[in-house]
Structure 1
Amino acid sequence: MSIMQVEVVSSEQNIYSGEASFVVVPTVSGEIGIYPRHEPIMSLVRPGALRLTVPGEAEEVLVAVSGGVLEVQPTKITVLADVAVRSEEMDQARAEEAKKAAEANLSQAKDKQSLEKAHAALAAAIAQLKTLDYLRSQKNK
């Protein structure tokens, strides 16, 4: 089985560092599925669920990403995420509350800095909600 090295980092911490045999990344062009020896590419990441198939693991590793940059090399994938959260650390009620708060902040933003902060918070909440929806859909299969 072919594998590749995967690094998922946010501005706050290293979220995942290890091997994977398949990775799905939400990009601005749509979801990209990546196997080892993939053609080199760079892309912007959009909010959503990043999915990793790890050799020897029955369950996918899921990470909510709110945006960032993806770099693919034949044996290594790097995702520099604006905000990234592993699925085990997510909570539906907290994510919905964060989305409501971000939407309220967005409507009340009076300057560019507060507008950018509100957009970033909204993207992070949406990424978590999308990841939680994906998890629910997989459990209902």
Structure 2
Amino acid sequence: MAEMSVDLVAVERLLWSGRASFVSAQTTEGQIGIMPGHEPLLGQLVEGGTVTIVDTEGRRIVAAVLGGFFSVTAGSVRVLAESAEFADEVDVEAARLVLADANASEEQQAAAQARVRAVERSANT
């Protein structure tokens, strides 16, 4: 099976680093899927998006991300997010409360939406 090196890094921490067979990210140009051997690419992540990594064991790692960039070479993907958290770290009820709050800022709404979406994608494995 073909594989590539993947790093998922947020400003505050390294979330995940290892070998993977697939990475999917929401970008300003749309959803993109990356497999080993992909053409070199530099992209911008959307505010309030998700990144999904399928490791070489077939496990799906899903994270909510708030902006940032990613870099792709034939053998590696580097996701550099402004902020990110794994789906299993998300407090879904708190995120839903933010979504229901008319006074929440646009950034807070985007973050909450990303968190809920990450949990939903993680549950669909």
RMSD of Structure 2 on Structure 1 (CA): 1.7
Letter in 2 for 1:104: N
If the length of structure 2 is used for normalisation, what is the TM-score?
0.88
Q: 1:1-141 counterparts in 2 under 5 A?
A: 1-46=1-46, 47-57=48-58, 59-100=59-100, 104-106=103-105, 119-136=106-123, 138=124
Higher fraction of helix: 1
SS at match of 2:38: coil
Letter in 2 for 1:129: V
Following the alignment from structure 2 to structure 1, what is the Cα–Cα distance between the partners of residues 32 and 3? Answer: 17
Post-superposition shift, 1:98? 3.5
Following the alignment from structure 1 to structure 2, what is the Cα–Cα distance between the partners of residues 68 and 131? Answer: 16
Say if 1:67 and 1:82, in contact at 8 Å, map to a contact too: yes
SS at match of 1:43: strand
SS at match of 2:109: helix
Post-superposition shift, 1:97? 2.5
Percent identity reads 30
Following the alignment from structure 1 to structure 2, what is the Cα–Cα distance between the partners of residues 39 and 16? Answer: 22
Say if 1:67 and 1:123, in contact at 8 Å, map to a contact too: no
Following the alignment from structure 1 to structure 2, what is the Cα–Cα distance between the partners of residues 89 and 98? Answer: 16
Aligned to 1:116: none
The number of equivalent residue pairs is 124
If the length of structure 1 is used for normalisation, what is the TM-score?
0.79
Say if 2:98 and 2:104, in contact at 8 Å, map to a contact too: no
Say if 1:83 and 1:124, in contact at 8 Å, map to a contact too: no
| Structure 2: runs of 5+ lacking an equivalent | none
| Structure 1: runs of 5+ lacking an equivalent | 107-118
Following the alignment from structure 2 to structure 1, what is the Cα–Cα distance between the partners of residues 66 and 117? Answer: 10
Higher fraction of strand: 2
